[in-house]
Structure 1
Amino acid sequence: MGLTDKEKLYISNESNTVITLIKEFKNIAKFTILIALAGIPLVFLPLGKEFDHFYLPKVVAMFILVFSFLSLFILNFKNVGKIIENDWIDKSLLIYFFLLIISVFFADNFYLAIFGSVDRLEGIITISMYMILFLIARYCSKTNDKFYLIILLTAILVSIYGIFQHFGLDPFIRDAIRTNWGYRSFSTMGNPNFLGTYLVLMIPISIYFFIIRKLKTGLLFYSILLYCLLCTSTRGSWLGSIASMVSFSSLHYYFYKIKKDELNRYIILLFLSIIIVLLYDFQTQGELLNRFLSITNDARILLTNGENSDYTGAHRGFIWKRVVELIKNRPIFGYGIENLGITFEKYYQKDMIGLWGNVINVDRAHNEYLHIAVSSGIPSLIAYLTFLTLILKNGLCKIRHDKYMLLLISSIIGYLVAAFFNISVVSVVYVYWIFLGLIATKVIN
């Protein structure tokens, strides 16, 4: 027996109500992501020399956002559907998460693996929040220029503060760790390396607005971001930014073909970059050039395993060689999240005293890929790299129909290059995870 007209109308109204509710929640997801990208970078609390000004406030802000969204989502789950897609991107993420969970039970210090250290706060709970933000970003409604412009304006504020620090103008009280830090900018990120990584993610947005959207203010924004990046004096981030810029122009050429007026803007961008670099190098009496040239020298020494390789890359050579040995000793599940500091001291205390004269807390491998392998095992690293590969493939498949993929993929490539020399940290890495989610979204703009 068929449905009556009244029953068909009821079903139709119910269906329309569900569709409307889903759209509303996708907009809520988009708003949540915008707050995370535009609000959290500005969160820091300079309350005293012993208080964590940077990491704890950002973790708390992140938790509030994630908890608020999930609470609303769970209460309306029956109508708004699922947040996890049945595809290989989310499957690989779940595999990676599962391997991280297993590694927790192999950790020497279970508490650190769960909650993270006081200085880092990046245990499995915080990593889970990154992943949830990724899923929310996949779920959110389509973005637009206004969305990215708001994010860029936040980056400008962060950069201006960083530039002020470079010139010795810091209106906020510094904590005990940063009291005697010199001219290197760290802004609201808490460390020059972390500020540099954040700027690597932001610079392609400014390039997008200048090259693609033809906004002259995009060139001004780019200049501020680039100058602040130089002020961090972070070589890994410099390489990451170069990689992001080259990626942007290469993807633009391959998928869209660069028009004559766009080529002219690229030339302007190049000449402006040279001027800013030369200006900064002159201002710092050649320090920039010397520091940049040291990259090739350090790489040569490290690759040839010279007698000074322990001193390369701010002692990264010393750390990397020993982390590789640790990975060989426990390749499957690693030593546990946030447990490298304990492990490194246990096995290499004498080596540290021989190099530095005392024991240093080497709690990071200063290479994200090595750090994942030593913390949660080689299978975990493989799952993570598979996850990244699937996302980038997804983004490249959509790039002809969605120009935002230009800036997002370029930002991610820059981050992945910088990650060879840097570490995951709560003040920046959530931006990276959200960008991954925006690339992986199934919405075509």
Structure 2
Amino acid sequence: MSPAPLNRRTELNPAPLAGTRKKRNIKRCGVKTSKILSRLIEFGLLAILIYTPLLRATKQIPVLTATYILILILTCLWFLRMNWQRSFRFVSSPLNLPLALFLSLALLSTIFSINKGASLAELYKVITFILFYFLLVNNIGKEYHLKVFIPAALGVGSIVAGYGVYQYFSHWPNLTEIASTFPPNPNSLAGYLLLIIPLAFALALWSSSKWLSRLAFVAASLTFISLLATHSRGGYLAFMGSVVVFILLSRKRVMERKRRLFLLLGMLLIITTSLVTIQMILKPRPLKKPADFLSELKPYSPIQVTVQEASDVSLGEPVSTRFFTPPPKEERGFTFQRTSTTIFIIDRLQMWGRTLEIIRDYPFLGTGMGTYGIIFKRHKIPIPLNNETIARYGMSARFAHNEYLQIAAETGLPSLVIFLWIITLIFRTGLRTLTKVTQLPSYPVTQLKEPANRQTGKPANRQTGQLANWQNYLIIGLLSGLTGLLLHSLVDFVLRPPATDILFIYFAALIMRYQQTGKLANWQTGKPITHHPDTLFSHLYHSPLIRGSLIICITLILTAQVTLPLIAYRHYRKGIDYQKEKAFDRAISSYLIAQRLEPTNDRYHKNLGDLYRHLALVSKEERRFWLEKATREYEKMVLLSPRDSHYRRDLGVIYWLASQGKDRLLINKSIAQFRESLKVDPTFPFSSCALGIIYAKIGWEDEAIEKFARTVYYEPNYVEARYNLAILYSKKGSYNRALSEYEKIVEIEERNLFPKISSGYEGALLKFDYTLAHLQLARLYEMGGRLEEAKAEYKHLLK
């Protein structure tokens, strides 16, 4: 019997074993899953780049919280992808160490902050944006990423700039309207545009794609026009600096003479246009010398005092008046007016000087992120008084108009050094990348046909034979844009809008990711995870399922932690709405929920305390009950922000109301709080006036007169303090002094400013029943025998 014939196909290609086939299927599934996760990460990064500038620069809490959550989800997907691949690979970046040090100092600054709630909110932002940087560096490494992200940035920049130009011409001359996409003012918009313009010019000059070159040209034109429309002189100066850097970086490349001439002439034309715009549109007036108003103030003799009702101690809330935007058109002539030149130079110099004082007081860890506005109340800038000026010390600020000084003031000088270290590393990496390319072609890359790279067949650099990669041309635009933003940061707070921060991080990550010398460290080689001895911990650690579950759980916990402030803010807003509708029970419930969700936020305690105080004033039967509740809320508020003079004032008021002028212990507590408020802010008129009222009520008239005199020394237009001072002068028999005070009150009334400024700090200074002053003035005229003047005052009262 002959043997069966051989099946050559079967013998040469035996069927794979079942286990081998299963492994291959698992490998294919793993590759597909990794690709899906990579695509999701890329789409998420692209979405952040697109929507953040369009939604009011992501400054609103809901949008900012959504951005935090999206970044956390993308980070989770990134770790899940590495877990699925069983190799944790991280790109080594020169910024790893300085970012870790900066985060550590930010954490320490938050722990020792003067307002932990505000610093904690800023700490969330710092942590999330550092995560975002590592997301970018580790997930954008291919050329098609550039071909997607860069046009997206240009397109979004064109939309923002185009809308700004539309607002400028449709709302002329109200320039504040152009800032509606980038609150709070046009300077913030200028900072964002400074990043886009050089990048757009670089792509318009050197892009190999016609459609991308055209898009870049449109983006460059719109963003430049929009920059001019912002009227931001800091933006203009920073743009000129970025132009100089652009030219210097381009000059070192070997280019055709025509193209270099075209580039230089174009840049000179842009600079000339900027200068002409400053002269023709802004028309700056000569710089005036600031009045030395302190010489106008005559020293007063320490005298003594009485007042109105103690319940009137609770005065209006001060408002942070911005230094940088002109007042609305309808208010011009009624509020303090300064020339734009004065605003740009004098105010900033004074503010920087005050910021240096803050740095001197808190040199190592600063006051805490987000607390500049609180500590600045102690260092407020006085305003020269004139016929249009109401408040002398009403100007406050939340920003130093210099990002570097603000970083030093809020997080300490070591943090500023690390920040400058980060900037230095970014520019050093970019410049090293440029030095590796000895020639930039003066015509599109696709026209470089010879010599070609033998391995890939792609066009190469004519002198070095290296691949003519368009990434090299982007470095010039990226570095020039960063230069403009960093120069603008010297005179404005342009790094505060989250959208600008995100684009800044994109630029830094692109420079770091595409450095040609970047290598993975030994521990970052992405080797497969090897199994160790059979132990329970080893099985748990090396199980992809366990690791993936742990990653998801951590992400959910962090997401919940980030979402809680948003939910608390929603309840806080509901409480305000209920309070306006006089649904006080619902308002109290909403405030309490907000406090439980975010216990470190002092605003929630303040609003609830204000509501309790209001209920105590309107409810005589339960007055004591509501005052006790208000006292507890104000004490928590002061505990969270002990350096806030306004909070100390509110706590002193509630102690006085609870004492009913009889409880000596509560009266002493009230006096102590007002004194602490004046230690924090010696120029705060409402605390000194309220303290004078209490002194007068308990019989310390000499001390009360001194406090009232000090109050009008700092704020001459504070009507209530002048009236109380005049009352005490009359009681002491100093009728001429009392008469002088009443006449000054009448002069303030004749200026007729209160109907136009009825709220805020200035409104609180002017708020008063002026008929009382006319009545007292008429009586003094009558006592002095000036009957005609007394008769005129009585007629005025009858009107």
Q: Which bin holds the TM-score, normalised by the shorter protein? A: 0.7 to 0.9
Residue aligning to 1:411 = 481
Cα distance change on mapping 1:78 and 1:272 into 2, 3 Å: same
Instruction: Say whether the 8 Å CA contact 1:165–1:183 is kept in structure 2.
Output: no
Cα distance change on mapping 1:271 and 1:330 into 2, 3 Å: closer
1:42 is aligned, of 40, 43, 54, to: 54
Instruction: Say whether the 8 Å CA contact 2:49–2:503 is kept in structure 1.
Output: yes
Cα distance change on mapping 1:130 and 1:233 into 2, 3 Å: same
Shift in Å at residue 156 of structure 1? Answer: 0.9
Residue aligning to 1:75 = 80
Shift in Å at residue 290 of structure 1? Answer: 3.6
Letter in 1 for 2:260: L
2:104 is aligned, of 98, 106, 109, to: 98
Residue aligning to 1:325 = 357
Cα distance change on mapping 1:241 and 1:27 into 2, 3 Å: farther
Shift in Å at residue 442 of structure 1? Answer: 5.0
Segments of structure 1 that go 5 or more residues without pairing to the other structure are: 46-52, 116-122, 171-179, 299-308
Rounded Cα–Cα distance in structure 1 between residues aligned with 2:55 and 2:44: 15
Cα distance change on mapping 1:261 and 1:439 into 2, 3 Å: same
- Provide the aligned length of Structure 1 versus Structure 2: 399
Farther-moved stretch of structure 1 (194-203 vs 260-269): 260-269
Rounded Cα–Cα distance in structure 2 between residues aligned with 1:41 and 1:277: 25
The alignment's C-alpha RMSD in Å is 3.6
Residue aligning to 2:266 = 269
Residue aligning to 1:56 = 61
Q: How does 1:36-435 map to 2 (within 5 A)?
A: 36-44=48-56, 54-79=59-84, 82=88, 85-115=91-121, 123-141=122-140, 142=142, 143-169=145-171, 181-182=174-175, 185-190=178-183, 191-213=185-207, 215-254=213-252, 256-267=253-264, 269-270=266-267, 273=270, 277=274, 280=277, 286-288=280-282, 290=284, 313=345, 315-345=347-377, 347-349=378-380, 351-352=381-382, 357-399=392-434, 400=437, 402-403=471-472, 404-423=474-493, 424-425=495-496, 426-435=498-507
Show CA shifts across 1:164-214 (max 9, x none): 1111359xxxxxxxxx95366224112201100000000012101221127
Letter in 2 for 1:387: I
Shift in Å at residue 340 of structure 1? Answer: 1.1
Instruction: Say whether the 8 Å CA contact 1:219–1:269 is kept in structure 2.
Output: no
Shift in Å at residue 327 of structure 1? Answer: 0.8
Rounded Cα–Cα distance in structure 2 between residues aligned with 1:340 and 1:83: 40
Cα distance change on mapping 1:84 and 1:193 into 2, 3 Å: farther
Residue 363 of structure 2 aligns to a residue whose secondary structure is coil
Residue aligning to 1:49 = none
Show CA shifts across 1:37-57 (max 9, x none): 222111249xxxxxxx95335
Instruction: Say whether the 8 Å CA contact 1:240–1:414 is kept in structure 2.
Output: yes
Residue 107 of structure 1 aligns to a residue whose secondary structure is coil
Residue aligning to 2:533 = none
Shift in Å at residue 74 of structure 1? Answer: 3.6
Shift in Å at residue 216 of structure 1? Answer: 4.7
Show CA shifts across 1:354-388 (max 9, x none): 68624333221111111111111111111111122
Rounded Cα–Cα distance in structure 1 between residues aligned with 2:365 and 2:228: 38
Cα distance change on mapping 1:267 and 1:392 into 2, 3 Å: closer
Show CA shifts across 1:366-420 (max 9, x none): 1111111111111111111112222222222223363222221111111111111
Instruction: Say whether the 8 Å CA contact 1:200–1:414 is kept in structure 2.
Output: yes
Rounded Cα–Cα distance in structure 2 between residues aligned with 1:324 and 1:97: 23
Show CA shifts across 1:71-114 (max 9, x none): 32243442365575455411110110100000001111100101
Residue aligning to 1:305 = none
Farther-moved stretch of structure 1 (329-338 vs 129-138): 129-138
Cα distance change on mapping 1:326 and 1:279 into 2, 3 Å: closer
Instruction: Say whether the 8 Å CA contact 2:44–2:70 is kept in structure 1.
Output: yes
Rounded Cα–Cα distance in structure 2 between residues aligned with 1:243 and 1:217: 24
Rounded Cα–Cα distance in structure 2 between residues aligned with 1:274 and 1:339: 38
Segments of structure 2 that go 5 or more residues without pairing to the other structure are: 1-15, 291-340, 386-390, 438-468, 519-799
Show CA shifts across 1:290-323 (max 9, x none): 48x98xx99xxxxxxxxxx996536111110011
2:508 is aligned, of 412, 424, 436, to: 436
Cα distance change on mapping 1:246 and 1:134 into 2, 3 Å: same
Residue 373 of structure 1 aligns to a residue whose secondary structure is helix
Larger relative contact order (Cα-Cα within 8 Å, sequence gap ≥ 6): 1
Residue 362 of structure 1 aligns to a residue whose secondary structure is coil
Letter in 1 for 2:192: Y
Rounded Cα–Cα distance in structure 2 between residues aligned with 1:11 and 1:390: 45
Rounded Cα–Cα distance in structure 1 between residues aligned with 2:37 and 2:424: 28
Rounded Cα–Cα distance in structure 2 between residues aligned with 1:391 and 1:325: 30
Instruction: Say whether the 8 Å CA contact 1:227–1:276 is kept in structure 2.
Output: no
Normalization by structure 2: what TM-score? 0.45
Rounded Cα–Cα distance in structure 1 between residues aligned with 2:422 and 2:21: 44
Shift in Å at residue 440 of structure 1? Answer: 1.4
Residue 144 of structure 1 aligns to a residue whose secondary structure is helix
Rounded Cα–Cα distance in structure 1 between residues aligned with 2:258 and 2:42: 33
Instruction: Say whether the 8 Å CA contact 2:359–2:366 is kept in structure 1.
Output: yes
Rounded Cα–Cα distance in structure 1 between residues aligned with 2:345 and 2:272: 27
Letter in 2 for 1:328: R
Instruction: Say whether the 8 Å CA contact 1:311–1:317 is kept in structure 2.
Output: no
Show CA shifts across 1:216-275 (max 9, x none): 553333221111101111122212222222222221222x32323432441463365267
Residue 179 of structure 2 aligns to a residue whose secondary structure is coil
Cα distance change on mapping 1:389 and 1:16 into 2, 3 Å: farther
